[in-house]
């Protein structure tokens, strides 16, 4: 299977971000790919190199299931906020977003194998580009 280029992955994340911009509400998505990360120490080193302000050495990663990983992504795509900060889409936009969500899922799936392990990165300061306290899933 041919994987997508960095530009294609950027497009896959930017299109739903643009559509999911609302009243006091915005979404930031990402897909980061690290090669040759076959262990947790490998990943932590690569993460630190890409995001120097992170402190992966101080975090205990939490293994999670693939099902929980996809449920978290689906929840993020379906969340609409509330009356003070939210996202209001019409029927056409909802259909567009559902299609973009499938593209996002497919982009992630291309990097997953039967040996993939998925972890949560529970650092209160987060990772650059992620909300503080937010978990991030990754796999190797």
pLDDT in tens, 21-40: 888 888 878 777 777 788 88
State what percent of residues in the chain have pLDDT above 90: 14
**Helix spans in 51-87 (H):** 66-78
Q: What is the DSSP string of 5-17?
A: PHHHHHHHHHHHH
How confident is the model over 102-109, as a mean pLDDT? 90
79-87 CB contacts, 8 Å cutoff, 24+ apart? 81/22, 81/25, 84/24, 85/22, 85/23, 85/24, 85/25, 86/22, 86/23, 86/24, 86/25, 87/20, 87/21, 87/22, 87/23, 87/25, 87/27
Pairing of strands 62-64, 137-139: unpaired
The least confident of 7-16, 45-54, 64-73, 120-129 is 120-129
**The whole model's pTM is what?**
0.76
Helix (H, G, I), strand (E, B) or coil at 140: coil
Q: What angle do CA 129, 134, 22 make, to 5 degrees?
A: 65
Q: How many other CB atoms sit within 10 Å of the CB of residue 88?
A: 10
pLDDT at 125: 64
Question: Does 97 or 139 have the greater pLDDT score?
Answer: 97
Compute the Cα dihedral for 27, 35, 105, 93 and give only its sign: positive
Question: Does 129 or 97 have the greater pLDDT score?
Answer: 97
Domain extents in the chain:
6-139
Question: Does 80 or 54 have the greater pLDDT score?
Answer: 80
Helix (H, G, I), strand (E, B) or coil at 139: strand
Question: Does 129 or 67 have the greater pLDDT score?
Answer: 67
């Amino acid at each position: 299977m041919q994987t997508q280029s960095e530009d294609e992955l950027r497009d896959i994340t930017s299109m739903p971000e643009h559509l999911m911009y609302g009243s006091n509400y915005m979404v930031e998505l990402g897909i980061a790919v690290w090669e040759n990360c076959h262990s947790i120490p490998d990943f932590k080193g690569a993460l630190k190199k890409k995001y120097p302000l992170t402190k992966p050495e101080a975090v205990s990663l939490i293994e999670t299931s693939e099902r929980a990983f996809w449920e978290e992504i689906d929840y993020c795509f379906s969340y609409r906020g509330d009356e003070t900060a939210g996202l209001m889409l019409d029927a056409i936009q909802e259909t567009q977003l559902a299609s973009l969500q499938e593209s996002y899922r497919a982009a992630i799936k291309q990097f997953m194998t039967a040996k993939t392990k998925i972890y949560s990165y529970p650092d209160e300061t987060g990772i650059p580009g992620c909300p503080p306290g937010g978990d991030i899933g990754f796999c190797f």
